[in-house]
Structure 1
Amino acid sequence: MNALDNAKIQNVDISLGRLLETLAGAGELPLVFHYDGRPIKAGYHVTEVKAGQFAALDCGANPEAWTEIFVQLWDVDGEGSAHMPAGKFTAIIRKVSDHVQLDGSAKLTFEVSDGVRPMQLYCASLPRLGNHTVHVDLAPRPASCKPRDRWLAEEARKAATCCGGPAYPKSACCA
């Protein structure tokens, strides 16, 4: 059983490396991205792959730094009636990585447009196999407050520590 068969988690913001690792066993299977409640058209193109290194100051005056990979998809009808095979998608990414340093652990963002509507930003969930096709759900990438996100993550970690083990079966924090 490969990573594609094991991919059961949905709506997870994945890295480029995780996406490629999961697609590794998919080869000739069609790769269909889904966004805004519909599948991408069969003739879609990967028009650009770019890597960025960012430095910023968040709303709490905390310095931030990260790398991000952007994969631009042009949602158009093409000459063929079949979606791009997963192997072709991974080959495109490999070709880009021959010329541009791509960090496999970097945040992954998809930019999608049909050439008429403005480009929209999306994050990807883990690919899933269904009906002899690889499906990747793209969810709109929302804005976030990093200090609040860190606080929420810390609260979740504290709750898991308090309530997550047999040592705390009736702890007050688990109520």
Structure 2
Amino acid sequence: MNAIDKTFSHDINLGMLLDTLAGTPDLPLVFHYDGRPVKPGYHVTEVKAGQFSALDCGANPETWTEIFVQLWDIEEGNRTHMPAGKFAAIIRKVSEHVQLSGSARLTFEVSDGVQPMQLHCAAVPTLGDGAVNVELSPRPASCKPRDRWLAEQAQSTSCCAPTSAARCCG
């Protein structure tokens, strides 16, 4: 597969996905999760936007906007995978009624109608096998104060010096 955007991300936003799909409206849009593609009859059953305010485990205030796209992974008749342009049109239609920010965090809720819904984040779309492919990976829980600390450590040039090696490189 060739990456449409050479930068790889495990968590793209809505704007990045729609910008990518704009250049490939006629290609099938195939989401992949749990090591397999969604079935050709999949539906976008719901798109919702939320604005969240919270306190993290360090009592730090957090605010963010998130878009949830619900995928129903079913086989239905002789349907093929949805064209990228149709997916974008669904999002545009929702935007007429619900404010959707292109910079919002993007979360996919995926279920086959039998198994419970699972939350996934999306990687940068790639082109391959005549389709636009989007790899979905489970969205793990995280500790925001720890994540910030790790990011600060990664930026520090002395992180792995002998005096601090046991603290951050073990």
In the superposition, the TM-score normalised over structure 1's length comes to 0.86
State how far apart, in whole Å, the 1-side matches of 2:49 and 2:78 are: 29
Bigger drift between 74-83 and 91-100 goes to: 74-83
The match for 2:25 among 19, 24, 27 is 27
**What are the equivalent positions in structure 2 for 1:87-126 lying under 5 Å apart?**
87-126=85-124
Unaligned runs of 5+ in 1: 164-171
Instruction: Give the equivalent residue in structure 2 for 1:168.
Output: none
Change (3 A) 1:5 1:147: closer
Which AA in structure 1 matches 2:55?
Answer: L
Given the superposition, is the C-alpha separation of residues 43 and 5 from structure 1 closer, same or farther in structure 2, using an over 3 Å criterion?
same
8 Å Cα contact 1:47-1:74 kept in structure 2: yes
- Please identify which structure carries the higher helix content: 1
Match of 2:83 among 57, 61, 85: 85
Task: Note if 1:53 corresponds to 2:44.
Answer: no
Q: Which residue of 2 aligns with 1:155?
A: 153
RMSD: 2.0
Question: C-alpha separation between the residues in 2 aligned to 1:157 and 1:42?
Answer: 43
Q: TM-score when scaled to structure 2? A: 0.89
Equivalent in the alignment of 1:42:
40
SS of residue matched to 1:94: helix
- The residue that corresponds to 1:138 in the other structure is 136
Match of 1:75 among 73, 76, 96: 73
Aligned with 1:103: secondary structure?
coil
Paired residue type of 2:149: W
C-alpha separation in 2, matches of 1:102 and 1:68: 9
What amino acid is aligned across from residue 63 of structure 1 in structure 2?
Answer: P
2:60 to 59, 62, 69: 62
For residues 142-173 of structure 1, the C-alpha deviation after alignment (integer angstroms, 9 at most, x for no partner) is 000000011111112223xx79xxxxxxxx58
Residue identity over aligned pairs, in percent, reads 71
SS in 2 for 1:118: coil
Task: Tell me, in whole angstroms, the C-alpha distance in 1 between the residues paired with 2:13 and 2:141.
Answer: 18
Distance (Å, rounded) in 1 between the aligned partners of 2:22 and 2:156: 36
Question: Aligned partners of 2:155, 2:94: CA distance in 1, in Å?
Answer: 38
Q: Separation in 1 of the partners of 2:25 and 2:78?
A: 18
Q: Which whole-Å deviations, capped at 9, do the CAs of 1:30-76 have from their partners, x for residues lacking one?
A: 00000011100000000000000111111001111111000000000
Q: CA deviation at 1:8?
A: 3.1
Alpha-carbon distance between aligned partners in 1 of 2:36 and 2:4, rounded to the nearest angstrom: 24
3-state SS in 2 of match to 1:117: coil
| Structure 2: stretches of 5+ with no match in the other structure | 166-170
1:83 and 1:61 mapped to 2: Cα distance?
Answer: 44
